[in-house]
Structure 1
């Protein structure tokens, strides 16, 4: 079933775009100064809202920037559903940027620069030139878009009160707890693929713990024995990880086990874990406050898109997908004997695929964290 397009594509096309700059285009960009002067825009007006307009040139530039930021979903962005959302998005960003104070605009510009600098640190000039050109945009277009996004983020962040931050943290504290955790995983299946019994697996885990208890370095024992490919080479360490991502038993140990003490083996569906919590952040620090504030700002932006945008929009063009001609006739007439019946299963295929392909919420752990027993859908080799 399709989700609300505002909710689904809000992840792809609004605040999620900020993270995408750091992750989706890493192998595709670099650094180039844009010396283009401002161009006169006399293109068609697609929308009017309280305080301004969105032109066809502006909209197409935004669409191309999003294709650059989200290459995996570029083909889906030509659908009417996504174009209509993107036009709503541009109205919202334009409007919120106009509401922002000079200080909020400065912070937005600084955050955009930081995002783009992170990208430039990982790619080269030639790649950037190629990717920007392929989407018919310039670095200035990218900078302008990111500045507008981050200004909207900053504006919404400033609408979040300290009382709202505290209330959100108290209600969802577990979601904000992070920890540095080392573990040694002994799988229920050995390296050759043979099954181990529960007793055999527990015995090996206790032997690993005994070595650490006798004074051996936890990291070295983990490198030697742990069967978690996501952390073994790193001494079993998951640093500054969100504990909420892990399966229940592992999460409970990360939240409750005494810091610095190696606990008894913990059983999960993957095997037995020997766990040492090296650090745990379970208080409302300034850093956590900022994380909570960003999450609430994202919620406020989504609420604005769904509840207030219509009220500020005076007129807006609606995009519609072209209907494909009936089989057998390029002019649209049904083929003889078909009675104009559509082919079963083709209706909505593109949008269903888009729904299934929508990215996960920002902040979900990647980078092999499933090997510690995360609550992810894809499980490999018992990790």
Structure 2
């Protein structure tokens, strides 16, 4: 079960079309948290010099109402995204992804141009905050190396993030209060958060030996008895809990989205009385002794912000799908190189006509660019719809498991 402190949340937007799926790569709000999900090995301060070629010397790839996108600007965007999402870097040279990224750059340029001075200032502040949090987690030398590998500077990163955060703020301001209330009423459970402590007794011990259900339940009841007897829950959790995601933190998951957890754990988080240690709860991981310390199930200002970001993302998706074509005047189309067909009746020497080992056959028509079997092509998955990600904080495996927005469970060891 992921640790979901507010500063480490990823946006989780339900994107269904190919644009929406690839929108998770750098979509509204998701980019706000890319710094947490991808830079587990970067650093504090980087060279702020910018050797980008002059815009006037660069080929124009697209024109739109109010401006254009140059080749230099587009390549810089592509390199920034490769830096932020190294796992997906190899996919970003495909024509499908480049075409989407160019559409995305047109959208960000256009929306930045529509933003007010106040929205631009807030966008810049948001970008600075995100980047500062990113740099606080990483090593200077590694950051410089990674930036250099993608031929970008910290200034390029700041420029891109500021533009995206300005679009975030612009779209957020298009969301009406009544829309926030309607979304919350329709999906209330998705926005409920809780501070939960738990002690997990696994069905397998530390040496990998299987426990019977009776043995597991007995150990869980013994842990509960110690807490009921007056021992500090956090102390007992640190000593006994077998959940690697929370044991060292006294069993605590703070401000976590209840909707992400497996059903039995989620039910306890939603229904147990605050401050009361419940009877052991069985999940596929073992038995949990649970104490709900806090539950937020009302439309607080913080929840309103979370709902507003979700709706803002939806508005960006709608803009990309419905309005972008209308503002685009011209746009270069990228195409993948064509491999000449083999001579009729022949196959490459040493093969039987099957795809080479380790390769992946082309996706079926209608699938999202870059979609991987078992995924929806998105960059991040399984976080609450609340505050940033989202798209990206580093998840810690924990004991309750998570549920994706498709209703399936993402199960992790030790949960």
Instruction: Give me the TM-score of the superposition, normalised by structure 2.
Output: 0.83
Compare 267-276 and 35-44 and name the one that shifted more: 35-44
Q: Is the 8 A contact 1:185 1:228 kept in 2?
A: yes
Name the residue aligned to 2:370.
Answer: 354
Q: Is the 8 A contact 1:45 1:56 kept in 2?
A: yes
C-alpha distance 40-378 of structure 1, shift in aligned 2 (>3 A): closer
Cα shift readout 1:126-148 (whole Å, capped 9, x = no counterpart)? 33332222212222221111111
C-alpha distance 246-280 of structure 1, shift in aligned 2 (>3 A): same
Q: Is the counterpart of residue 245 in structure 1 residue 223 in structure 2?
A: no
Mapping for residues 144-223 of structure 1, pairs under 5 Å:
144-223=159-238
In 2, the alpha carbon distance for the partners of 1:273 and 1:323 equals: 56
Q: Is the 8 A contact 1:80 1:319 kept in 2?
A: yes
In 2, the alpha carbon distance for the partners of 1:128 and 1:366 equals: 17
Matched residue pairs, number? 374
Name the residue aligned to 1:262.
Answer: 277
Alignment equivalent of 2:286, drawn from 271, 284, 294: 271
In 1, the alpha carbon distance for the partners of 2:157 and 2:236 equals: 47
**Secondary structure, aligned partner of 1:238:** strand
C-alpha distance 305-381 of structure 1, shift in aligned 2 (>3 A): closer
**Secondary structure, aligned partner of 2:339:** coil
In 1, the alpha carbon distance for the partners of 2:229 and 2:91 equals: 58
Mapping for residues 362-381 of structure 1, pairs under 5 Å:
363=383, 367-375=395-403, 379-381=411-413
Instruction: Give me the TM-score of the superposition, normalised by structure 1.
Output: 0.89
Q: Is the 8 A contact 2:22 2:369 kept in 1?
A: no
Q: CA deviation at 1:78?
A: 0.4
Q: CA deviation at 1:363?
A: 3.0
Name the residue aligned to 1:26.
Answer: 40
Structure 2 spans left out of the alignment, 5+ residues: 1-15, 385-392
Q: CA deviation at 1:197?
A: 3.1
Q: CA deviation at 1:285?
A: 0.9
Higher normalized helix content (fraction of residues): 1
Larger-gyration structure (1/2): 1
Q: CA deviation at 1:265?
A: 1.5
In 2, the alpha carbon distance for the partners of 1:146 and 1:10 equals: 15
In 2, the alpha carbon distance for the partners of 1:367 and 1:308 equals: 35
In 1, the alpha carbon distance for the partners of 2:84 and 2:68 equals: 24
Q: CA deviation at 1:353?
A: 9.0
Q: Is the 8 A contact 1:268 1:373 kept in 2?
A: no
In 2, the alpha carbon distance for the partners of 1:352 and 1:167 equals: 30
Structure 1 spans left out of the alignment, 5+ residues: 328-333
